[in-house]
């Protein structure tokens, strides 16, 4: 399977714990995005990387959230001191920059976070 | 401030008929528009896109129309099939918008056999 891969698929944790999610993009894609989706809403942008550089962060991304893409391949999203409001589906997407003005983003199946 | 809106939360259509999904946007900086389809417990799957230099793009049973003056786009699915039953999201982006996707709230489509 050469699509975007996200792990774990589902994470249940107690409030106050730290969690980390991993995303493996499509191998030749140099852009990687994180989104969050809550029930009944469309995905909302959190942050994105071009290669290893984090180019933009949404104001939704509080200081409890941190994302990395250390070698420009896989990425991790960490949430510290989780809160009830962090319960959501966390989606990762990747795309190829430099092949024309626009390229579609391709999504993984997400990590569903449930805070007890 | 919702920059991309899908005003119909749901749509029911008979198999074989046309499904028309609508989307409105407010940000003039958007110049690339996409439609995604989402099944439960899966991520959004890219369907079709259109650049602002075009007013129509077709791919098999899917056609997207863009009306820039009205800041409106629509997705036509014809003929509709039961496997098309899913939630459809409209999304918009652009270089000036930082290449990130801004999504509408989605339209749930049910195709009845």
Q: Which of B34, B43, B95 sits opposite A104 (nearest CB)?
A: B34
The dihedral formed by the CA atoms of A101, B94, B28 and A92, expressed in degrees to the nearest 10: 150
What does the alpha-carbon distance between residue A51 and residue B21 come to, in Å, rounded to a whole number?
A: 35
116 residues of chain A, pLDDT tens digit each? 579 999 999 999 999 999 999 999 999 899 999 999 999 899 999 999 999 999 989 988 889 999 999 988 999 999 999 999 999 999 999 998 866 667 889 999 999 999 99
- Residues in chain B closer than 8 A to A108 (CB atoms): 43
Cβ atoms of B77 and B62 closer than 8 Å: yes
Whether the CB of A88 is below 8 Å from some CB of chain B: the reply is: no
The residue of chain A with its CA nearest to that of B5 is A42
Q: What does the block give as tokens for B54?
A: 């075009």
pLDDT reported for residue A99: 61
Cβ atoms of A21 and B60 closer than 8 Å: no
- Residues in chain B closer than 8 A to A107 (CB atoms): 36, 43-46
Q: Is B101 close to A106, i.e. CB distance below 8 A? A: no
**Whole-Å CA distances, B86 to A86, A93, B111:** 25, 20, 9
């Amino acid at each position: 399977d050469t699509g975007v891969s996200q792990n774990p698929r589902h994470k249940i944790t107690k409030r106050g714990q730290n969690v980390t999610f991993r995303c493996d993009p499509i191998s030749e894609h140099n852009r990687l995005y994180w989104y969050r989706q809550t029930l009944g809403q469309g995905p909302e942008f959190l942050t994105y990387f071009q290669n290893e550089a984090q180019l933009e962060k949404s104001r939704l991304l509080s200081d409890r959230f941190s994302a990395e893409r250390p070698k420009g391949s896989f990425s991790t999203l960490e949430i510290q001191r989780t809160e009830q409001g962090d319960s959501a589906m966390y989606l990762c997407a990747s795309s190829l920059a430099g092949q024309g003005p626009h390229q579609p983003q391709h999504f993984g199946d997400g990590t569903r976070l449930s805070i007890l | 401030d919702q920059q991309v809106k899908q005003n119909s939360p749901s749509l029911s259509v008979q198999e074989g008929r046309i499904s028309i999904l609508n989307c409105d946007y407010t940000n003039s900086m958007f110049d690339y528009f996409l439609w995604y389809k989402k099944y439960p417990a899966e991520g959004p799957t890219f369907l079709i896109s259109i650049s602002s230099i075009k007013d129509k793009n077709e791919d098999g049973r899917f056609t997207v129309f863009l009306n820039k003056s009205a800041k409106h786009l629509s997705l036509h699915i014809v003929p509709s099939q039961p496997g098309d039953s899913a939630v459809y999201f409209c999304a918009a982006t652009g270089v000036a918008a930082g290449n990130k996707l801004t999504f509408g709230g989605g339209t749930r489509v049910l195709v009845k056999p």
